Amino acid sequence: MSEETFKSVKDLPSTRLLCGGTPMCSGCGALEALHEIYDILGKKTVFVNAAGCMTLLSIYPFTPFRGSWLYTAMASAPAGAQGVRDALDILIEKKQMPPEDDLQVVVLTGDGAAYGMGLSSTSAAIDRELDFLYICYDNEGYGNTGQQFSAATPHAAKTATSKGPRGYPGYKKDLFSIWAAHKPPYVATVVGSEPLDLAKKIEKASELKGPRLIIAFSPCPTGWGFDPKLSVEIGKLAVKSGVWPLKEYIDGKVIHTKIPRKRVPVEEYLKVQGRFSHLFSPKRNEELISEIQARVDAYWKEVEG
């Protein structure tokens, strides 16, 4: 297979490998991205899942996966992946397992682990050129425990630990660039609401060897404060407003895979989410809205040159 497998949405898989019955919230953007990713990767995978919302997927004796899954502490999923990769390599080397039974080792963590606690072990795994795929579902906070802010939380967002009138004072960490600075074979951003772009990138990543890292933007109805039915719409708005750039790092270059030619104002994206409601009510906070818009504009000015 090649990247050409997915030319149009008509080529997207119509079989669903990840099964239902999970305890994820209704309208979960992370689960949506995960099932789209799983349909491409297939069941010959081992998911190494750091503590977070998604560890609730497999609660004994129930699992939605058709392949393997295991659970690690929050900061150590890449270390767990190293162990699994080594074990598989040894089994193949000793001819105790035929090479065609080999499994793709996939780390699955939230942004709390990816942007924060697990960043060191990820960095080390990239240094060791570990052959693995890292999927970070980024819902911009510690969603599983009630949406406290994380290093992925955007500026001004209200979280359980940033309730003031200006929201979160920090800025979302640029994990894509941090990962890319290690010069791994592949880094990409995706979102479940852009399934074709997602499919192409997962396909490309699964054909490469070595550390490949994906950040999946994951609208979170519970943590961000919106009606679950708007989950996909908000993902689309994040792309159309330029808040979430879809891009990949490959062969030492960053390529934007979907450039919104006419960006919708960030306001359209912000105003549909409870976590930004303090920017609009009781009084419009022009200063903060303009600041967020200016940062997005500056980003794209640099991209478009």
Partner 1 sequence: MYRIRFHGRGGQGMKTASRILGTAFFLEGFEVQDAPRYGAERRGAPIFAYVRASKEAINERGIIKEPGLVIVADDTLVAMPAAGVLQGVTEDTVILIVSVIEAELWKDRLNFPGRVLTVIPPGEGQSHERAFTGGAIAGAAARLTGAVSKASLEEAIREELIPLGTKVVEENLEDALSVYEFMAEHEGCVAPGTAIAVEGFTPPNWVELPFEDARLSSPAIHAEATSEQIKTGLWRTVRPVIDYELCNRCSWLCSTFCPESAISVNEDGFPEIDYEHCKGCMICMTQCPPHAISGVLEREAKGGEDNET
Task: Select 1 or 9, whichever has its Cβ closest to partner 1.
Answer: 9
Task: Select 19 or 303, whichever has its Cβ closest to partner 1.
Answer: 19
Is residue 19 a contact point for partner 1 (CB under 8 A)? yes
Task: Select 36 or 131, whichever has its Cβ closest to partner 1.
Answer: 36
State in angstroms the smallest separation of the CB of 277 from partner 1: 8
Give the count of residues interacting with partner 1 (CB under 8 A): 51
* Contact indicator for 119, 50 with CB cutoff of 8 Å: no
Task: Select 45 or 189, whichever has its Cβ closest to partner 1.
Answer: 45
Which tokens in the block code for residue 163? Answer: 């309730």
Is residue 63 a contact point for partner 1 (CB under 8 A)? yes
State in angstroms the smallest separation of the CB of 249 from partner 1: 26
Task: Select 129 or 268, whichever has its Cβ closest to partner 1.
Answer: 268
In the sheet that holds 45-50, the strands lie side by side as 68-72, 45-50, 104-110, 132-138, 211-217, 186-191, 246-250, 253-258
Residues 35-54 that bind partner 1 (CB under 8 A): 35-36, 43
State in angstroms the smallest separation of the CB of 120 from partner 1: 26
Task: Select 59 or 73, whichever has its Cβ closest to partner 1.
Answer: 59
Contact characters 193-222, partner 1, x per CB under 8 A: x-x-------------------------xx
Interface residue with partner 1 among 1, 2, 8, 98 (CB under 8 A) is: 8
CA-based angle 215:38:100, to the nearest 5?
A: 115
Is residue 74 a contact point for partner 1 (CB under 8 A)? no
Is residue 227 a contact point for partner 1 (CB under 8 A)? yes
Task: Select 23 or 169, whichever has its Cβ closest to partner 1.
Answer: 23
Residue 110 phi, psi dihedral angles, 5° rounding = -85, -175
* Contact indicator for 209, 131 with CB cutoff of 8 Å: yes
The label of the residue with tokens 């359980």 reads: 160
How many CB atoms lie under 10 A from the CB of residue 3? 12
For residue 245, cis peptide bond before it (omega within 30 degrees of 0):
no
Transcribe 214-250 into DSSP letters.
EEEE---HHHHT--GGGHHHHHHHHHHTTSS-EEEEE
Q: Distance between CA atoms of 59 and 64, rounded to whole angstroms?
A: 10
Is residue 305 a contact point for partner 1 (CB under 8 A)? no
State in angstroms the smallest separation of the CB of 10 from partner 1: 5
Positive or negative: CA dihedral 205, 128, 218, 44: positive
- What letter represents residue 243's amino acid? V
Binding site for partner 1 (CB under 8 A): 8-10, 12, 14, 16-29, 31-32, 35-36, 43, 56-67, 163, 192-193, 195, 221-222, 227-233, 281-282
